[in-house]
Amino acid sequence: MQLLINFTQILLTTQITPVLFLGTIGMILLATSIILFAIFHQRRVMRFQQRIQQMEVEHQKMLLKASIKLQEEERTRLAADLHDDAGPLLATAKLYLNDNFVNLDKTAQMHSLFNAKQIIDDTIQLIRNISHSLMPPTLKNFGLSSAVNDFFQKISNSGSLNASSKFHDYKTRLKSDKELILFRVIQELVNNVLKHSKASFIHLTQHDVEEKVILRLHHDGFGLTQEEFLRYTNEKEGLGLKNIQSRLRVIHGDILYEKDSSQSLYKVTIEIPREEGEEIK
C-alpha cells in the first residue's frame, strides 16, 4: 500500500494525462489483486492438501486396524480349533494309553491301541485341515489359477450357483505371498456374492496387461459401485470390505466396483503390478 501511495505521488508531480494516470493506478490495483489472490489461493491449496494427507493417514490407520483385526480373528479361530477339537481328541487318546494299560490283558490292550490309533488319525486329519485352510495345497503346489479353478468348481458342485473361471495369461506365477493374498481376496469377494447378491452365476477372468495382472469378476446379482465401496470402507461396518482393501494395499493392488457396460451385470476389477521376472518363490 505504501508503494502505491509513493507511486501516486510520483505521478502527481509529473505531467501525465488523467487517463494514463487512472489506467496506471488500475493496472497496479489489478496486479496487487492478482498477487493477493494467488497468495490466498496457495494457502487454501496447502490447507486442502494437508487435510487430504490427514484423511489418508486416518484411512491407512483404519485399514491397518482392519488388517490386524482380521489376523487376530484368524489366530483366534485357529486357537479355538486346536483347543476345542484337537485337545479333547488327544486327551481321549491318552485315556486309552493310561498307566493301567500295562495291567490289561492282551485283548484289552489291542482294543485300547486300536481306539487310540483311530483318535490320533482323526487328530492328524484335523490338523491337516487346519493347515490347508491356512495355505491350500493346490495354491502352494500349482498356483493361483489351479486354486481358483478348484474353488469355483466346488461352488458349482454345491448347486449354489454356476461358477467358472478362466486364466488366459497366467504363464508366470506371482510370488507365493501375493498369490495367497489374491486367493483370500477372491474368496472374500465370492463369499459376499453368495451372501448378498442373489446371483445365479459368477465368472472370473484373468489377463496380463502392461506388466499388470488383471482379475475381473462378473455376476448377475446385486452389487456395489465404487462410491458405495469407498463409503462402506470408511464406516465402522463393512469389515470384510476393509479386509479386501487392506490386503490389496499390501501388494500395491487396486480394486474397482462398477456395473458392466450392459448395465445388467456387476463387475469387480483387481489390478496387481508384476515385479521384474516374477515367479515362484
pLDDT in tens, 207-218: 998 889 999 999
Coil, helix or strand for 135? coil
Displacement of CA 163 from its chain's centroid (Å): 22
Phi-psi region of 55 (alpha: psi -120 to 50; beta: other; left: phi over 0): alpha
Q: Is the dihedral of CA 218, 222, 228, 229 positive or negative?
A: negative
Q: What DSSP character marks residue 174?
A: P
First to last CA, the chain: 69
Q: Give the CA radius of gyration of the chain.
A: 33
How many contiguous H segments (helices) and E segments (strands) does the chain have? Answer: 9, 5
| Strand blocks (E) in the chain | 162-167, 201-208, 212-219, 254-259, 266-273
- Asked if the model's pLDDT at residue 52 lies above 70, the reply is yes
Burial of 238 (0-12, 13-18, 19+ CB in 10 A): middle
Please give the residue that has the higher pLDDT: either 55 or 5: 55
Instruction: Please tell me the predicted confidence (pLDDT) of residue 211.
Output: 87
Task: Give the Cα separation of 160 and 139 in Å (integer).
Answer: 23
User: In the numeric block, which cell numbers belong to residue 142?
Assistant: 500349482
For the stretch 67-89, pLDDT in tens is: 556 666 666 677 677 767 777 88
pLDDT band at 163 (very low <50, low <70, confident <90, very high): very high
Reading the block at residue 278, the C-alpha cell is 516374477
State mean pLDDT over 158-178.
89
Mean pLDDT (the chain, rounded): 80
* Strongest mean pLDDT among 3-7, 34-38, 272-276: 272-276
Three-state secondary structure call for residue 105: coil
Q: What pLDDT is stored for residue 60 in this prediction?
A: 60
62 has pLDDT over 90 = no
DSSP letter (8 states) at residue 210: S
CB atoms within 10 A of CB 215: 24
